[in-house]
Structure 1
Amino acid sequence: MKNYLKLASLALLLSFLVSCISEDGNPNAPDDKTMVMGQLDLIKSGTLTAQSSTNTRGTVSIVKDNAGKYFLRLSENFTTKFSTGTVTVYLATSQTLNLNSSSTFQLVSIVGKPGEQFFALPGLPDSKFTHAIIWCGAAAIPFGFAPLN
């Protein structure tokens, strides 16, 4: 029985680790080299609502820089519960993340610290993504959401 539990735990850990890897095999970790150029144009923004008894707060914005690149920005006052080590930010079609339906979400990045951060986006996000979600991968629970207007 102990070996079965160990094997099951290992399988669960491996499935979680695989879920944190992008299609090209690279981890979806924050890119500290993200360079935002010049003035930012605000595309849409929303205030985070805390969930699951966390202290999640701040704003999430979609912005465009002078070079025409798009970013998801977390505000200077952004914070959440980081003790799990698996905090991620998603764009989603509602305030509820449905990981069983890939058309309803876009993984943006792992979030490893509080405060202002910029995460590069491949382009202007599809208009169907109306919310940003802060998600705890380890517990598979929401830490917060923000409607983007």
Structure 2
Amino acid sequence: MAPRDDSLQSISIQLDGKNYAYWSYVMKKFLRGKTVWGIVTGDKKKPTYEKANNYATLLDSWETDNSKISIGYDTTKEVWDHLARLYTQSNFAKQYQLEFGIRALQHNNLGFQEFYAAMSDLWDELALTEPDVLKAFKLYIDR
């Protein structure tokens, strides 16, 4: 019996155009777990040295991994870069939107678990909009 290929197993977060930062964070972790993140970043390059003894095997493996996540593009890196350009908003606009959502959520009639889950999602997305340069400052982190 052949091993089960769960490479197309989905993640729980769906990209909706407003949650790109959070979605990309979750997707990056998912793709790392599937050992194909190097293809997305372009670090794991398509084999080109045709005289190598295992060239056909390496090429087949790379093309198989690449085809698992590329749709409408030649490489998964092109897909990832396209999504980043399409959905990345300025941090200020995204932060404002998330902070507004956090304040607005306080007025909803949700159960505790629903409220906590929704609030946690918004806070997680907000944390992803912080510039990396601020994350290096201990005073900023300890606030």
TM-score by length of 2: 0.23
- Bigger fraction of residues in strand: 1
TM-score by length of 1: 0.22
Pick 1 or 2: higher relative contact order, CA cutoff 8 A, min separation 6: 1
- Bigger fraction of residues in helix: 2
Larger Rg: 2
